[in-house]
Amino acid sequence: MISIDEIKKSFPKRRPDAHKSDFGHVLVIAGASGYTGAAYLASQAAIRSGSGLVTLAIPKSLYNVMATKLTEVMVRPFAETKEWSLSLGAKKALLGFAEKCNAFAIGPGLSQNEETGSLIRDLVSELSGPIVLDADGINAFDGRADKLRRDNCALILTPHPGELSRLTGKSVDVIQKNRKDVALEVAREYNIVLVLKGHNTVVVGPEGQLYVNETGNPGMASGGVGDLLTGIIAAFLAQGVENFNAATLGVYFHGLAGDLALKEKGPLGLIATDLLEKLPEVLKMLG
């Protein structure tokens, strides 16, 4: 079992003369009609977790609302489907803009539109930096899990048991009874880091690395909380943390923020923004 204290030591220290460009640029590809909250939360978590710059790629019809809601995060509009989700027409522009970025968070609130799913699969295949793939990003590979393998750079999947069930064809019951073994099997098969969310979230790597998280609480079972984790991990990747370590630190601090929020708010009515407000406090542990 890997020690969280050892992994903390891998986090880069900030020099007194540091500039925002030293801490990476995260591109969050998220959001569709009805799902702007997921895009907001992932983006805010990335900027709150130390990324020097964060840009949210959003369907063009949603630009005004997101540009109004987000202050520190930059927002860029891209081509959309009739359902106001990102379309294949956005691919060229997204790949061009991605050349400026260091890490990618793909999936929160993207919808399960078929054309958007095609775009997601193309981006995962063609982007040249580390990717955190969550929610509808993972759903885009249902029945196409073979397309997940990437040898050119890091890919981190953050499914809950239901998403992993759809991806692998294994039942939720089998997954939950064999969380470590199933996660390790998937990580090795596709050469990825896998974060299997839930009580005692499991983080595994393709070479057999294993971490079982002990932070977090049932109050975190609330919409949007997982979107925060996506942004946190992407921010750590952008700052140069190795993919398994970034996932592990993200899971640990995400849960720790939830534990601090629990002490203040209690387990009922705990929401994602409660955790977001606690991120700076828990991340002080990284120096």
In this predicted model, what pLDDT tens digit does every residue of 110-145 receive, in sequence order?
Answer: 999 999 999 999 999 999 999 999 999 999 999 999
Q: What is the pLDDT of residue 149?
A: 84
SS3 54: strand
77 and 51 in contact (C-beta within 8 Å)?
A: no
Q: What is the pLDDT of residue 15?
A: 85
Q: What is the pLDDT of residue 17?
A: 84
Q: What is the pLDDT of residue 43?
A: 98
**Please, what's the b/e burial string for 91-128 (b: 16 or more CB within 10 A of its CB; e: otherwise)?**
beebeebbeebbbbbbbbbbbebebbbebbbbbbeebe
pLDDT per residue over 181-205, tens digit each? Answer: 999 999 999 999 999 999 999 999 9
Mean pLDDT of 252-261: 98
φ/ψ (deg, to 5) at 48: -70, -20
Sheet with 193-196, edge to edge strand ranges: 74-78, 53-59, 25-29, 103-106, 131-133, 155-157, 193-196, 202-204, 210-212
pLDDT at 152 exceeding the cut of 90: no
d(CA 153, CA 150): 7
Its pTM stands at: 0.97
pLDDT at 158 exceeding the cut of 90: yes
Q: What is the pLDDT of residue 9?
A: 85
* Domains of the chain: residue spans and CATH: 19-286 (3.40.1190.20)
Angle between helices 225-238 and 243-265 (to 10 degrees): 140
197 and 160 in contact (C-beta within 8 Å)?
A: yes
Q: What is the pLDDT of residue 21?
A: 83
Q: What is the pLDDT of residue 3?
A: 83
Q: What is the pLDDT of residue 125?
A: 95
pLDDT per residue over 15-38, tens digit each? Answer: 888 888 879 999 999 999 999 999
pLDDT classification of 14: cutoffs 50, 70, 90: confident
Q: What is the pLDDT of residue 214?
A: 96
SS3 66: helix
Q: Of the given ranges (1-15, 73-87, 240-254), which has the lowest mean pLDDT?
A: 1-15
pLDDT at 86 exceeding the cut of 90: yes
pLDDT at 80 exceeding the cut of 80: yes
